[in-house]
Amino acid sequence: MANYGVRVQRGYVAESPEEAVEKSKQLLSEGASELVIKSQIHAGGRGKGVFRETGFKGGVKITSDPNKVGEFAKEMLGNHLITKQTPPEGQKVRKVLVHEGLQFGGADEKYFAIVMDRNTKGPALLVSPQGGVDIEEVAESNPNAIKKIPINFTEGITDAQAVEAASFLGFDADQSLLADGAEQIKGLYKLFAAVDATQVEINPLVKASNGKIYCIDSKINFDDNAAFRQKAIFAQRDTSMEDPRDVQASEYGLNYVGLDGNIGCLVNGAGLAMATLDVIKLHGGNAANFLDVGGGATAQMVEQAFKLITSDPKVKAIMVNIFGGIMKCDVIAEGIVTAAKNLDLKIPLIVRLEGTNVTRGLELLKESGLAITPAQSLDEAAEKAVQAVNKM
């Protein structure tokens, strides 16, 4: 943000209590009067979180004493912080952010976002003078407190639109504040366009006690398709904060999400995958995962998908549901057979194939000599998968 003229708090990342103390002293020498230390994990609600190992409360702390920062860092680093957004076991804190504190009142907290709008087929500003709270609650209780300003992506944001947004946010008390608000908004839009963002959300955007406007908390989503153009940004991905299976899946171009059930699913297409999960539920079962191999999967990708599914000890049966279009059923069948043999698969495997080269695909499954249960429809496949699990 700072690279695009957006005003943010000065801060530094530390990986040890000693480094946190050092960075705190540096901030004080640069003019900071208050220090904030934050646990760096991929979850919200850190301030109200609790550390699993010690019971220490709060993943965000405020002080003006560098030694206190060191003490807080010692409590945080190396321990697992549990918040309302983490898994039950929490997430391990490997780094902390130490930054300057700012003074501002609740009335000074505003909401600002740039999102992609389906209706206008382009970006739009979403602004509200009611910031610091869930914008969904504002939308429900007081929709007139939110304003949408569509932006022409080719032309970019205009001065008039930036002033309109800043004024609606309440930065029109005087001309200098209004001008500062408009400049900050233009800087945020410049960031949005330059980094291939799909969303830039600031909550809150505040007028601090020093009279200047700051972005206090933010969330930015980036277009995965622009990774080749945004290498510096995507290089910052911290895979230690992610499920190892999700990371492995992304390396092979697979879309994987672990769930709580015991029927592993391998499907092509996100919509078909969701329908498969629903039909399994309809027949009394629960899926162990969402796994979409996409429309251009190879036999090698299918084998990797099987490895992901079987890495979950809860999986008691695997259900494959493939509708061949661009993807050919015989290629999928080849991958299924190879995976089942290489992994020495012992759990029930139910396969439903339909579409391009389905006859040859079914022949390959039959010729394999493996204990593969075929199904003619999604309903039949789900029913057989649930029955297989219930027999165990």
Known catalytic residues?
Answer: 111, 201
Q: Which helix (H) or strand (E) holds 253?
A: none
Residue pair 101/69 in contact by the 8 Å Cβ criterion: no
Gap between the Cα atoms of 75 and 68, Å rounded = 11
The answer for residues whose C-beta is within 8 angstroms of residue 36's C-beta and 6 or more apart is 9, 11, 60, 61, 62, 98, 99, 100, 101
Q: How far apart are CA 155 and CA 232, in angstroms?
A: 26
Tokens linked to 208: 């601090």
CB atoms near residue 347 (< 10 Å)? 18
DSSP tag of 90:
-
How many angstroms separate the CA atoms of 226 and 137, rounded? 32
Distance (Å, whole) CA 144 – CA 165: 14
DSSP state of 284: T
d(CA 47, CA 263): 37
Q: Kindly state the helix (H) or strand (E) to which residue 318 belongs, with its residue range.
A: strand 317-324
Identity of the amino acid at 144: N
What's CA 90's distance to the chain center, in Å? 16
- Do 358 and 258 touch, CB atoms closer than 8 A? no
